[in-house]
Amino acid sequence: MRRALASEISRCVYRRSEEPRRGGSLTTSSVASSRWRCDTETTAQEFRISPSAGGCLFARQREGILTARRLRAAFEERVRLTKNVLAVAAAGEEQPELTEAYRTHLGRMLIGRIETALKSDALKAIAGQVNLILTSPPFPLLTKKRYGNETGDRYLEWLSSLAPKLADLLAPDGSIVLEIGNAWEQGSPTMSTLPLEALLAFKRAGGLHLCQYIICHNPARLPSPAAWVTTKRIRLKDSYTHVWWMSRSEEPKADNRKVLTPYSKDMQRLLKRRRYNAGKRPSGHRVSNLGFFKDHGGAISPNVLDLSENPRLPLDLLKYSGTGWDRRYREYCAQQGFEVHPARMPIDLASFFIQFLTDAGDLVFDPFAGSNTTGAAAEYLERRWVGVEANGNYARGSFGRFADLVAK
């Protein structure tokens, strides 16, 4: 534990401030009203900690050397002020109370478990006002992961228990979009139905309508499960996730004209030539003489979203695709010493549903924000947003997604 604390101190110094700043805030039970910010740029020059030297502290400031006595006093003060940090470390980095990591022009990132957040004044204040809840909860894997997933029947109970409370946050025409991956039976080349059972349980518990079932296909995913796909070669690569769009209303706010995909080359030629075979098709559908001659600016998006290297994304969202978006986040985490989230939501997916189901100025909420792809996409698309993440490390690291906005 001392090594963990020493590592934490060597990475950042929390300084008192009247307003929360970039890099995060920390509230302890003894100084509940105090705000602290992480000054990572000057820390390396201010002091160095050597746990191997019997806990002694050595430091060098730019204009002199601090005495061991003063350093020990500073160390003891740091220990006093970080009791909740130690509790977080012991609990896998989960914040015991709701705190604010950072704010942007349009949103705020909160650190804490969603169960705690739902009881807070921060979320009570937006009840009935959220236009879109977009999230990818911890997947129902049959083994525990660092990002805090429940397993088996406990996962069903946990996720469905959140449904009514999350649904209460929705505006009358608001939507909930959940992305959940597939699961396999432990030690067996057979798939688990737990993801589908979890989605059904969530829908029923929240009193929600299933507006549409969408497949998110990502061919770039690594082959898994490796034992059955790459070693024994008896299964196909798992390359998609389930996305359920739900709402309390049968007709929530939505406009597929805002997520049109580029016309295919054949359609472009048809519009230019203005000639094709009309009449009755074998399926029974009758195609009119003029039905396909109007240029709508693009084709209606299908309910299979392809996140390949050359995706047919909606025209307005092409600028949000590509690896550059995620690279900036990873570089920021490396520079600041934060762990990169292992299961990040694709920006293509987040921007698609935000554009499809909300308007500029609407409110978007992500109860399992992770690296905060949802909040970043909402900010760039000029929507207000709130994110909640239980892991303080992931929450503070997600500020890297807003570095470009801050630079401007």
How much is the pLDDT for 346?
87
How much is the pLDDT for 6?
40
Q: Average pLDDT of 154-163?
A: 93
Q: What percent of the chain has pLDDT over 70?
A: 60
Lowest mean pLDDT segment, chosen from 40-49, 113-122, 292-301: 40-49
Q: The tokens 């169960």 sit on which residue?
A: 115
- CA–CA distances in Å: residue 316 to residues 132, 359, 381: 19, 14, 10
Same domain, 50 and 102: no
pLDDT digits (tens, 9 = 90+) for 70-102: 444 443 443 333 333 334 333 444 546 899 999
Tokens of 294: 């109007």
174: phi then psi, degrees, rounded to nearest 5: -80, 165
Same domain, 164 and 232: yes
More confident residue, 171 or 84: 171
pLDDT digits (tens, 9 = 90+) for 192-203: 999 999 999 999
> Diameter of the chain by CA atoms?
91
Most confident of 16-25, 28-37, 110-119, 320-329: 110-119
More confident residue, 261 or 52: 261
Residue 272 has pLDDT above 70, yes or no: no
End position of a domain, from candidates 89, 121, 148: 89
Residue 288 has pLDDT above 60, yes or no: no
Residue 400 has pLDDT above 70, yes or no: yes
Same domain, 235 and 124: yes
pLDDT digits (tens, 9 = 90+) for 356-398: 999 999 999 999 999 999 999 999 999 999 999 999 999 999 9
SS3 category, 93: coil
User: Omega of the bond prior to 225 within 30 degrees of 0, cis?
Assistant: yes
- Give 258's Cβ-side CA count (13 Å radius): 14
Question: Rounded to two decimals, what is the model's pTM?
Answer: 0.71
Same domain, 311 and 171: yes
Q: The tokens 């739900």 sit on which residue?
A: 246
- CA–CA distances in Å: residue 88 to residues 40, 78, 119, 178: 20, 15, 20, 27
Residue 246 has pLDDT above 80, yes or no: yes
Q: Average pLDDT of 162-182?
A: 97
Residue 124 has pLDDT above 60, yes or no: yes
Band of pLDDT at residue 222, cut at 50, 70 and 90: confident
How much is the pLDDT for 268?
63
Amino acid sitting at position 60: R
Band of pLDDT at residue 311, cut at 50, 70 and 90: low
SS3 category, 149: coil
Lowest mean pLDDT segment, chosen from 82-96, 243-257, 298-312: 82-96
Q: Average pLDDT of 249-270?
A: 83
Q: Average pLDDT of 183-191?
A: 91
Residues 108, 125: Cα–Cα separation, whole Å:
14
Same domain, 39 and 158: no
For residue 39, how far is the Cα from the chain centroid? 25
Band of pLDDT at residue 219, cut at 50, 70 and 90: confident
Same domain, 104 and 52: no
Same domain, 27 and 175: no
Same domain, 12 and 159: no
Domain span at residue 286 reads 263-297
The mean predicted confidence, pLDDT, of the chain is 74
Same domain, 147 and 274: no
How much is the pLDDT for 254?
98
Band of pLDDT at residue 186, cut at 50, 70 and 90: confident
How much is the pLDDT for 316?
56
Same domain, 244 and 267: no
Asked if 331 and 312 count as a contact pair (C-beta separation under 8 A), the reply is: no
End position of a domain, from candidates 27, 59, 89: 89
Same domain, 7 and 45: yes
The sign of the CA dihedral 144, 134, 330, 34 is negative
End position of a domain, from candidates 33, 57, 89: 89
Q: Any idea what the CATH number is for the domain that residue 313 is in?
A: 3.40.50.150
Q: Average pLDDT of 252-272?
A: 80
Q: Could you give the number of structural domains in the chain? A: 3
How much is the pLDDT for 296?
61
Same domain, 78 and 172: no
